[in-house]
Amino acid sequence: MSCRLMTIGAMLIVCLLCLEGAMSDPVSFEVAGQEPDAKAYQTCRRMIVGPDVNQPESYEGYGGFVGWPAVTRLRSGQWLMAFSSGCWHASVPWTEEIKKDPASRKQFEEWQKLGLPDLRSPRGGRAHIMRSDDEGLTWTQPQVLVDTEDDDRHPTILELADGTFLCTFFTYRLPRVHYARYMLSRDAGETWTDPMDLPGKPEQTAFSGGPAIQLSDGAVVWVAEGKLDPQSGAHCIGVYRSTDSCQTFELASVVKTDHSLYEPTIAETSPGKLTMAIRREGDICFSEDGGLTWEQSGSTIWNLYDPHLLQMPNGVLALFHGSYTKGGVRVFLSPDGGRTWRGPGEKDGKPYGYSVDPSVYGYSHPMVLPDGTAYVVYLKTGGHRLEDAQTEALYALRVRVFDDADGIEILPAPGSPATKGKDAATDKPQPGDGGDAELGNEF
């Protein structure tokens, strides 16, 4: 394996990351291996939800947008996929009464310039759940998972060791009011508790898919961005813990720096040892005590969004993400729990990960399969242009991570064109579908 070593983040080590904890050495990046087959994603991906495919039941305010999927494999072997629906990238409630509020109307008009339709939507978007009993080959029709009075975004289901289901999501309404919430189920998702808030109901809390994990000792750790420091105008990361099967959560620690932090993701790399990655500067943090205290390495200048850490069975730590640098869904790989990272190259001095699907928006969610590969679900576009929102689609494919953490192979999802002997997918993306998040760091 040919590698080139580059130390990153050194200029941000001193006094920038302010937490009651030690500073760690900066993480490093190595150029290793090469990109996977450039066309493999076209035949290996499969549309799970989209135009004329597994559409949710229509409701007032629904305009074709589906997004923010997250997938879970239960111990029973059943698969669950949760996702949001609505009329646009952000499907906020919109009524004649809401229009009377100047602040709400101002934000609506800002988004309307991007493509948000003037569509009556009394309760905004909602969240759905689908099930598969044959390893993702067929799926049930979407059922309503939660429908609050606000837009219900980024639902993810985590199965705990005692069989409890934890569903994390956040709600959004104008003008820029959003809260992290959760529900519990004790009957495999047939019924759920009413939505609950994090302790203290901190303002502007949010996350992307999969913010909670269960540790080897049974504790549940959930990370969320939000206004968690009264003395700072920046968004911080709150690390919440539960030791009673999510009956209660407590704020265990806060991670903050001189810039706002968004969309955190965590993974347990060995018992009690956690790695966290954060949008957009790519801050990497480490905990040796289950999230109670953190070492912080500084920003990595990776320019990523929607990061998702996944500890692979072969010992490699994968960081799936959307890339501002190269576009689409990509993945960095680490052989040592996040201290060293690898990718196929750099652009203008900025490292980038291995390409999973370069044609799409970049928001994804992965899970580990019994064969050691990752099954990744993701959305086609950002749904900013109205025509994109109305024809939005959710895709899936599989990824094999090389044992030496120096590359990936794109593999077919069950039911994809590749499994049917077809040469190319019939739902090819249009030019310009890829790219970064047009609403900046807010979404």
- Tens digit of pLDDT for each residue in 102-112? 999 999 999 99
Specify whether the CB–CB gap between 418 and 44 falls below 8 A: yes
The pLDDT > 70 percentage for the chain reads: 90
Residue 434: per-residue pLDDT: 42
| pLDDT of 5 strictly over 50 | no
| pLDDT of 288 strictly over 60 | yes
Q: What is the pLDDT of residues 222-257, one digit of tens each?
A: 999 998 888 888 899 999 999 999 999 999 999 998
| pLDDT of 4 strictly over 70 | no
| pLDDT of 442 strictly over 70 | no
The pLDDT > 90 percentage for the chain reads: 82
| Token digits of residue 219 | 């504790």
Question: What pTM, to 2 d.p., does this model score?
Answer: 0.92
Residue 383 Ramachandran class (φ > 0 left, ψ -120 to 50 alpha, else beta) = left
Question: What is the average per-residue pLDDT within 196-202?
Answer: 93
- 149: how many CB neighbours lie within 10 A of its CB? 11
| pLDDT of 2 strictly over 50 | no
Quote the mean pLDDT of the chain: 90
Q: Which CATH class is domain 1-32+203-300?
A: mainly beta
Instruction: For residue 190, give every residue at least 6 positions away whose Cβ sits within 8 Å of its Cβ, in sequence order, or none.
Output: none
| pLDDT of 10 strictly over 90 | no
For residues 115 and 118, give the distance between their C-alpha atoms in angstroms, rounded to a whole number. 9
| Helix or strand (DSSP H, E) at 409 | strand 408-411
Q: What is the pLDDT of residues 38-86, one digit of tens each?
A: 999 999 999 999 999 999 999 999 999 999 999 999 999 999 999 999 9
- 194: how many CB neighbours lie within 10 A of its CB? 9
Tally the C-alpha atoms within 13 A of residue 216's C-alpha that lie toward its C-beta: 11
Residue 14: per-residue pLDDT: 26
Q: What is the pLDDT of residues 388-441, one digit of tens each?
A: 999 999 999 999 999 999 999 999 999 999 998 876 555 544 433 444 444 444
Question: What is the average per-residue pLDDT within 269-297?
Answer: 95
> What DSSP string runs through 214-267?
E-TTS-EEEEEEE---TT-SS-EEEEEEESSTTS--EEEEEE--SS--EEEEEE
| pLDDT of 195 strictly over 60 | yes
Residue 82 burial (10 A CB sphere; 0-12, 13-18, 19+): buried
| pLDDT of 37 strictly over 80 | yes
Question: What is the average per-residue pLDDT within 367-393?
Answer: 97
Specify whether the CB–CB gap between 368 and 359 falls below 8 A: no
| Helix or strand (DSSP H, E) at 398 | strand 394-401
Residue 430: per-residue pLDDT: 43
Residues 246-271: b if buried by 16+ CB within 10 A, e if exposed: beebeebbbbbbeebbbbbbbbbbee
Widest Cα–Cα separation across the chain: 62
Question: What is the average per-residue pLDDT within 337-347?
Answer: 96
Counts of helices then strands in the chain (DSSP H, E):
4, 30
Residue 23: per-residue pLDDT: 60
| pLDDT of 170 strictly over 90 | yes
| Helix or strand (DSSP H, E) at 188 | none
Q: Domain segments of the chain: what residues?
A: 1-32+203-300
| pLDDT of 262 strictly over 60 | yes
